[in-house]
Structure 1
Amino acid sequence: MFDFFLALDPLYQTILATLYTWGMTALGAALVFTSKNVNQKLMDSMLGFAGGVMIAASFWSLLAPALEMAEGGSTPAWIPAAVGFMLGGTFLWSVDKVIPHLHPNAPIDAAEGYQPKKKKRSTLLVLAITLHNIPEGLAVGVAFGAVASGSSQATISGAVALAIGMGIQNFPEGLAVSMPLRREGMSRRKSFKYGQLSGMVEPISAVIGLLAVSYIEPLLPYALSFAAGAMIFVVAEEVIPGSQEEGNVDLASMSLMIGFTIMMILDVALG
């Protein structure tokens, strides 16, 4: 099966990888068919775990390769990594200020970004998780793009490891949308629909990332660092606070450590 995947064009590899990550979002959202509520401690631990995966992926799969790729260039290796990292965080910060969205479990009045006159909670929740998925899709696309460019620091197994990690941490994100909607009285089918919808952006953003670095190879260190900065912003601004807002600080923190460790093992073992 893996040999078949290796024989595919990088574009199709990227699409398949992000269809998997989208599928994991849908799988998490599908738990709405089994229950109307989810244990808050379980939810917070899953969000903490997701944050750990994203932090580990940001360094091991993105920043470290970016630094290696920039070595031997005309500028110090840290410059592309630092510039790309800050641009990624600034980009997500800007998008966060513009796109209307609502964090799971937050009241409708706590919605962020530009607010239309008519606020629909389901749409705002989907947009919140969609913001998370943009950098995740970019990260996977850029990783496969680095492999396609022939970079010696990028490997197909490393890109696959990153996609696996992103898929694992997408599971609680689908759940974080579908369950609140179900608790508010929305049907199971509609709750699932909105929960999985947030993962749709990953294949799109991944293809954009792949095409960008495939045609403009010097962008690779900047693109990898950009995706890392965007993910770290999401973790710091939303994932970690969201996992601790119900008081399960120690549980969420240890879950983050576990998520980081598992993603690190995945990347080092496969990459």
Structure 2
Amino acid sequence: MYEMFTSLDPVMQAFIGTLFTWGMTALGAGLVFFTKGTNQKFMDSTLAFAGGVMIAASYWSLLAPAIEMAGERSGPSWLPATVGFLLGGAFLMLVDRLAPLLYNSQYMNDIKDNKAKRRTTLLIFSITLHNIPEGLAIGVAFGALASGATEAALASAVALALGIGIQNFPEGLAVSMPLHRDGMSKGKSFFFGQFSGMVEPISAVIGALAVIMIKPILPYALAFAAGAMIFVVAKEIIPGSQEKGNAELASISLMIGFAVMMTLDVALG
């Protein structure tokens, strides 16, 4: 099975990798059929765990390869990583200002005012929006293989897909459970929960094709994806995992998530 996967085109590898992350989103969303409520400590710890996974993946699967690739070319090796990383964060900041994200004040006000329809729309949109840079990151990582595939580079891309898949599990639940709580049927809640992960295969293919067609942008693209992911962690995941008073548990869970992803990436690489 692994040999068959390695023989595929990088774009197809990226597509398959994000089918897995989409499936993990659906698996998390499917818990709506088996539980009546959510444990806040469980939700906070899994959200923080996801943050740790994303931080580790941003360095070992994205920034480190970007710096290594830039070092093989003329010019400062740190420049593409620095520029791409900051542009990734700036892009998400711009998106944040143009569209309400999951934890902004308007979303919280809508919860207090019980504006269920608007809250539902914001919830689905925000999680879906967050999945775009994750899909791009996987696509860029696999697309980089076209520039000279190595076992370590492939293992790094696979580890990134595994890590993002792990953190997608609580995301699916984070969509389906509130929708069902607002009165939506379990079937529809599951549909919208898994739908939030559908953008990942699409954005992965776009990311892979972009770096294959325009190879000079590859180090910048890898760092861009890392910057976007770190912005999401810093603004959304860490505050969201600690706002209910479980800061210590969330901090430990984040460190465990970081350690797990670091181990996966280093061991597979």
Q: TM-score range by the shorter chain?
A: over 0.9
Q: Map 1:1-271 to 2 at 5 A.
A: 1-103=1-103, 106-109=107-110, 120-150=118-148, 155-271=153-269
Q: Do 1:147 and 1:154's aligned partners in 2 also have CA atoms closer than 8 Å?
A: no
Change beyond 3 A, Cα 1:84–1:197: same
CA distance in 1 between counterparts of 2:67 and 2:24 reads: 30
Change beyond 3 A, Cα 1:24–1:126: same
Change beyond 3 A, Cα 1:139–1:132: same
How far residue 119 of structure 1 moved from its aligned partner, in angstroms, is: 5.7
| Equivalent position SS for 2:197 | helix
Letter in 2 for 1:97: R
CA distance in 1 between counterparts of 2:12 and 2:72 reads: 32
Deviations 1:147-197 (A, max 9, x none): 122166962121111111110010011111111111222111111111111
- The answer for unaligned runs of 5 or more in structure 1 is 112-117
CA distance in 2 between counterparts of 1:184 and 1:124 reads: 13
Give the alignment's TM-score, normalised by structure 2: 0.93
Q: Do 2:147 and 2:215's aligned partners in 1 also have CA atoms closer than 8 Å?
A: yes
How far residue 47 of structure 1 moved from its aligned partner, in angstroms, is: 0.1
CA distance in 1 between counterparts of 2:163 and 2:195 reads: 20
CA distance in 2 between counterparts of 1:153 and 1:82 reads: 26
Write 1 or 2 for the structure with the bigger share of helix: 2
Correspondence for 1:115: none
Q: Do 1:48 and 1:243's aligned partners in 2 also have CA atoms closer than 8 Å?
A: yes
Change beyond 3 A, Cα 1:233–1:101: closer
Q: Do 2:110 and 2:119's aligned partners in 1 also have CA atoms closer than 8 Å?
A: no
- The answer for unaligned runs of 5 or more in structure 2 is none
How far residue 108 of structure 1 moved from its aligned partner, in angstroms, is: 5.0
Change beyond 3 A, Cα 1:152–1:3: closer
How far residue 99 of structure 1 moved from its aligned partner, in angstroms, is: 2.4
CA distance in 2 between counterparts of 1:91 and 1:225 reads: 12
CA distance in 2 between counterparts of 1:126 and 1:15 reads: 22
Q: How many residues align?
A: 265
CA distance in 1 between counterparts of 2:159 and 2:108 reads: 36
CA distance in 1 between counterparts of 2:33 and 2:177 reads: 10
| Equivalent position SS for 1:73 | coil
CA distance in 2 between counterparts of 1:22 and 1:223 reads: 22
CA distance in 1 between counterparts of 2:111 and 2:77 reads: 41
Change beyond 3 A, Cα 1:119–1:100: farther
Q: Do 1:146 and 1:154's aligned partners in 2 also have CA atoms closer than 8 Å?
A: no
Give the alignment's TM-score, normalised by structure 1: 0.93
Letter in 1 for 2:94: S
Q: Do 2:124 and 2:193's aligned partners in 1 also have CA atoms closer than 8 Å?
A: yes
Structure 1 vs Structure 2 CA RMSD: 2.0
CA distance in 2 between counterparts of 1:102 and 1:256 reads: 19
Change beyond 3 A, Cα 1:229–1:66: same
| Equivalent position SS for 2:35 | coil
Change beyond 3 A, Cα 1:239–1:37: same
CA distance in 2 between counterparts of 1:174 and 1:162 reads: 18
Q: Do 2:57 and 2:262's aligned partners in 1 also have CA atoms closer than 8 Å?
A: yes
